[in-house]
Structure 1
Amino acid sequence: MLKQKLADVFNEPGCEKNQAKSDKDRKKGCTVKGLTPGAAAGGCAFDGAKIALQPVVDAAHIVHGPIACEGNAWDNRHAASSGPELYRMGFTTDMSELDVIYGGEKKLWKAIKEVIAKYDPPAIFVYQTCVPALIGDDVIKVCATAAEKFGKPVIPVNAPGFAGSKNLGNKLAGETLLDYVIGTEEPDDARPTDINLIGEYNLVGELWQITPLFDELGIRIRAGITGDARYHDVACSHRAAVNMLLCGQAMMNVARKMEERWGIPYFEGSFYGIEDTSASLRTIARLCVQQGADADLIERTEALIAREEARCWERIRSFTPRLQGKKVLLYTGGHKSWSVISALQEMGMEVVKSSVRKATDSDKSKALELMDGDAEALVGAIPNPEMYRMLRAGEADIMLSGGRTQFVALKARTAWLDINQERNYAYAGYDGMVELVRQMDKAVNNPVWQRVRRPAPWDADFTGFDA
């Protein structure tokens, strides 16, 4: 079944790059270099599946495998909840050497039974990892039997780490939702202003910066898939009127198949930056009207956008002179490779290079357009020595990246700001733009950089300390 699912995921009609390949190349998937067992590869398929599904906050998440798998994946992103906290409880079968010999199915059954008895969740996600997959544990059968026995959805997530990359795991998680969750319940309050946000995980509460805008317009988020999600809402998400796809690289398969099965139109957008936030709101309003919402929704949306844009520009005006012309090295990937460029340019900053790792062709074309067609400014992975050279030579005043590369910037005595999922600040929407400007100013204009770049007292060109 895993082979069939992988073949289906790799044959993605919604991806122009994928469809341009030959049948032979399409079967190989999108990963240029396979994962090396035992080596750090930036996340495996299990990790990607857990990242995508764990924000279903009222469900229990059981990792069937050695305890290290759960320890590595637990709470590794700041996906916030407005209520239930069960998703932050780590459950694992803690497979040992004896389980490898005798099998772990009975241990998994006992774990499911214990979780239901103690916590009574509305659903349980069971994650298949490498070890039980290699020894042949039938996780799908155990889950089906448990669901029938206990009268609760027990959902197998068949994404062992050796299947591929973290991005593939995101897609397999989406397939799990399509196979076992979405469409399994019917809401009694569907309306043409219901939307789903696909690929939104409510990192550090970013979803909550957007929700007030929708509330004012009378647009309801039927389900975040899966940010701050409730199992019942995801199960009913097939009755939404519009799907917004925030990261096509992760869950395009979900948006496309929901359009095929239930006729829900989708578009890819972003809530990073003033222009992109406004464009996304306009598109949602237009599609909702096409689905039967009142025509005045478009007018009310324009009024809200005009007010919020003016308010946002007023709040960031004082920072503009301090950031104007500063150079940025953007080392991230996916949809952030273009959406963050837009936000930075609105501040008057110059993006000297942007990484397009894990980015779709659509992401790359948008980034290229924002960079005025400068293809050399779009790069893949940058080796640490080259990154250090760029920063040390002053080619950038600040680097925006994830935590794994922060020490390159710090060693080069250059400002750094976390833009990836581990960050502590929310940058979505109009309020998020203001926060991003504030944090950029604090980072790049911190007086510590002038001090650490001065020659040391024992250097020949030392001229004495400032008064």
Structure 2
Amino acid sequence: MSLLRAKIQDVFNEPGCEKNRCKDAKARKVGCSTPLTPGAAAGGCAFDGAKIVLQPITDVAHLVHGPLACEGNSWDNRGAASSGPTLLRTSFTTDLTELDVVMGQGERKLFKGIREIKEAYGPPAIFVYPTCVTALIGDDIEAVCQRAAEKFGLAVVPVNAPGFAGSKNLGNKLAGEALLDHVIGTAEPDDPGPYDINILGEFNLSGEFWLVKPLLDRLGIRVRACIPGDARYFDIACAHRARAAMVVCSTALINLARKMDERWGIPFFEGSFYGITDTSDALRNIAELLVKQGADPEILGRTEVLIAEEEAIAWKKLAAYRPRLAGKRVLLNTGGVKSWSVVHALMEIGIEIVGTSVKKSTVEDKERIKQILKDDNHIFEQMAARELYAMLSEHKADILLSGGRTQFVALKAKTPWLDINQERQHPYAGYDGMVELVRQIDLAIQNPIWCQVREPAPWDCQPAVGEELPRTKSENVTLHAVQEFSGTTAADFGEC
């Protein structure tokens, strides 16, 4: 437990953020976010956060050492896509019972589980996640993993992030520490090159990274490791040989980027692939970093040519949606990088942002939002469901972009809703992703169902005695269709 406390304190002493570099030594120790009281897990626990960061590594077996419910709660909690191995979809747990706890069988059961996975699947590595129960009873996860690695001849990585340690964001960072301590730098690539980069904090949700990677391929830039989206264990082990790095979700893996810069001299920048302008800026920054690291400066010219071609295509596709979405109002209830990157992307095509939440955003994210919106009144630290419903029912927004947990608030307020979080079914990154995002917003807002659900129900407008019940718009449409089919006139049916 003392080792875990020391690791947590080190994680929060984060000088890697641009804003933190301007602070004094005392203020810098606070880091990007404030430590929570152990157990006060806002938006998920540390164990859940560690699984979020490491689960998308496709060819690794992820073994949860704890009761069955812990794995059932966190398995496949993000729609991270894989282009090859599907071992990440298989759930592994030691299924610790009360009898195992009382009899002290936890470590023995964990070792047996590692052996069974090795024999049945033969993965290149097994990641072991302790939970609250196994951490509290004192199971020595590190010792078991070390013994299993020596016995079975494969990497067995302890991810020391039990749920009671703190928030989900803390678990993200502890997962990055596990990669630094046990994975990155343990293998050497056969063909390192001057155009190798790492992408950190990209989860390949709904295959989003597959919309960005072709752009890098056209520039001759190779992604040495995308951590964790669609990643392979060997690629991450060789990530220390990249020449530059881009951090997509700074609140999750900024500590990983900083320490890789300190140990192996890999410079990084924070960027986004959401929106046309941000995608272009990200490509430029990658090219500039590679040139500073020794790459041929001609890549800068090729990057500008690619950007000009892709932007022209994207703006041409978006032209059809501009008149349909001009002046439409969007309310964002999300966090992290999406709290500012999606705002910027939507404003590029003339959509008005009436508000965005910053509950899970870093200080840097909030500063970017202020620079984009120029008004603090559109920034919400936290919006309760009651307040969100009141805002939507008063028609202050035309659509809500959020995660699945608030979709029913929007539906109750009879307001269009679009999933922007990890459960989404469509990729929104890159130039093509921006077009898809605008298309989905247009489909949601223009859906004719909203005209129907906003009409008063027939039982809410009962006619007086002897009066005919008024018809709804949908009934009128049906009536006119019947008229055209039968050749009758409106007089035959009465006035609508």
Residue in 1 aligned with 2:143? 141
Q: How far is 1:347 from its partner?
A: 2.2
Q: 1:390 & 1:418 partners in 2: Cα distance?
A: 18
1:382 match: 383
1:289 aligns with 2:296: no
Look up the equivalent residue of 1:342 and give its one-letter code.
Answer: H
SS at match of 2:360: coil
Q: Which residue does 2:247 correspond to in 1?
A: 245
Quote the sequence identity (%): 62
Matches within 5 A, 1:315-354: 315-354=317-356
Give 1:51's aligned residue.
52
Q: Which amino acid aligns with 2:47?
A: F
Q: CA deviation at 1:36?
A: 5.3
Which residue is equivalent to 1:266? 268
CA displacement 1:385-433 (0-9 Å, x = unmatched): 1000000001100000000000000000000000001111100000101
Q: How does 1:222-237 map to 2 (within 5 A)?
A: 222-237=224-239
| Aligned residue number for residue 181 of structure 1 | 183
1:413 aligns with 2:414: yes
- For the pair 1:362 / 2:364, whether they are aligned, the reply is yes
Q: SS at the partner of 2:63?
A: strand
Distance 2:291 2:25 in 1: 40
- Check the 8 A contact 2:42/2:168 in 1, yes or no: no
Aligned residues: 464
Distance 1:24 1:296 in 2: 42
| Alignment-derived partner of residue 83 in structure 2 | 82
Query: What residue is the counterpart of 1:113 in the other structure?
Result: 115
Residue by residue over 1:215-238, the C-alpha shift from the partner in whole angstroms, topping out at 9 and shown as x without a partner, is: 111000000011100100000001
The range that moved more, 444-453 or 56-65, is 444-453
- Aligned partner letter, 1:441: D
Q: Conserved in 2, the CA contact under 8 Å of 1:64 and 1:108? A: yes
Partner residue, 2:480: none
The yes-or-no answer on 1:399 pairing with 2:393 is no
Structure 1: how far apart are the matches of 2:31 and 2:218? 46
Q: Whole-Å Cα distance in 1 between the matches of residues 35 and 190 of structure 2?
A: 46
Aligned to 1:465: 472
Residue type of the alignment partner of 2:134: P
Partner of 1:129: 131
Instruction: Assess if the C-alpha contact under 8 Å between 1:31 and 1:165 holds in 2.
Output: no
Post-superposition shift, 1:199? 0.3
CA distance in 2: counterparts of 1:307 and 1:155, whole angstroms: 44
Q: Is the 8 A contact 2:278 2:341 kept in 1?
A: yes
Q: In structure 2, do the counterparts of structure 1 residues 25 and 211 end up closer, same or farther at CA, with 3 Å as the change threshold?
A: closer
CA RMSD of aligned residues (A): 1.9
SS at match of 1:12: coil
Displacement after TM superposition at 1:293 (Å): 1.4
Query: Contact between 2:39 and 2:163, CA under 8 Å: does it hold in 1?
Result: no
* CA contact 1:35–1:41 (8 Å) conserved in 2: no
Listed one character per residue, the Cα deviations across residues 210-267 of structure 1 (whole Å, up to 9, x for unaligned) are: 0110111100000001110010000000110111000111000000001101111100
Q: 1:98 to 1:25 in 2, by over 3 A?
A: farther
Q: Distance in 2 between matches of 1:316 and 1:29?
A: 36
Q: CA deviation at 1:99?
A: 1.4
Select the residue among 153, 159, 171 that pairs with 1:151. Answer: 153
| 2:448 pairs with 1:441 | no
For residue 9 of structure 1, the aligned residue among 8, 11, 20 is 11
Q: Secondary structure at the match of 2:321?
A: helix
Residue pair 2:12, 2:35 contacting (<8 A) in 1 also = no
Structure 2 SS opposite 1:458: helix
2-structure distance, mates of 1:443, 1:234: 39
Match of 1:101 in 2: 102
Change (3 A) 1:35 1:396: farther
Supply the distance in 1 between the matched residues of 2:403 and 2:37 (Cα, whole angstroms): 22
Deviation string, structure 1 residues 265-321 (Cα, Å, up to 9, x no partner): 100000000000000000101111111212111111100000000001111211111
Q: Counterpart of 1:199 in 2: which secondary structure?
A: strand
1:42 Cα deviation after fit: 2.0
**What's the offset of the Cα at 1:456?**
2.1
**Is the contact made by 1:16 and 1:361 (CA closer than 8 Å) also made in structure 2?**
no
After TM superposition, the score normalised by the length of structure 2 is 0.90
**Match of 1:331, as an amino acid?**
N
Larger-gyration structure (1/2)? 2
Separation in 2, partners of 1:142, 1:86: 22
> Per the alignment, in what secondary structure is the counterpart of residue 460 of structure 2?
coil
Q: TM-score scaled by structure 1?
A: 0.96
- The offset of 1:15, in angstroms, is 3.5
Determine the structure 1 residue equivalent to 2:68.
67
Structure 1 residues 126 and 8, CA gap change in structure 2 (3 angstroms):
same
Q: Compared with structure 1, are the counterparts of its residues 23 and 289 closer, same or farther at alpha carbon in structure 2 (3 Å cutoff)? A: closer
The worse-fitting range, judged by mean Cα deviation, of 104-113 and 440-449 is: 440-449
Contact 2:177 2:256 in 1 (8 A): yes
Q: Which residue of 2 aligns with 1:30?
A: 33
SS in structure 2 opposite 1:169? Answer: helix
What does residue 431 of structure 2 align with? Answer: 430
Q: Deviations over 1:78-137 (max 9, x none)?
A: 111100011111000000001111230000000000000111100110001110000000
Query: Are 1:57 and 1:81, in contact at CA under 8 Å, matched by a contact in 2?
Result: yes
> SS at 2:294's partner residue?
coil
SS class of match (2:128): strand
Partner amino acid for 1:156?
P
Distance in 2, matches of 1:207 and 1:33, equals 32
Counterpart amino acid of residue 54 in structure 1: Q
SS in 2 for 1:46: helix
Q: Distance in 1 between matches of 2:239 and 2:20?
A: 27
User: 2:212 aligns to what?
Assistant: 210
Distance in 2 between residues matched to 1:339 and 1:157, nearest whole Å = 31
Deviates more, 1:191-200 or 1:358-367: 358-367
Unaligned runs of 5+ in 2: 464-469, 477-496
1:459 positional shift = 3.1
> Are 1:126 and 1:154, in contact at CA under 8 Å, matched by a contact in 2?
yes
Q: Does structure 2 conserve the Cα–Cα contact (< 8 Å) formed by 1:455 and 1:461?
A: no
Aligned partners of 2:413 and 2:35: how far apart in 1? Answer: 30
Distance of aligned partners of 1:210 and 1:461 in 2 relative to their CA distance in 1, 3 Å threshold: farther
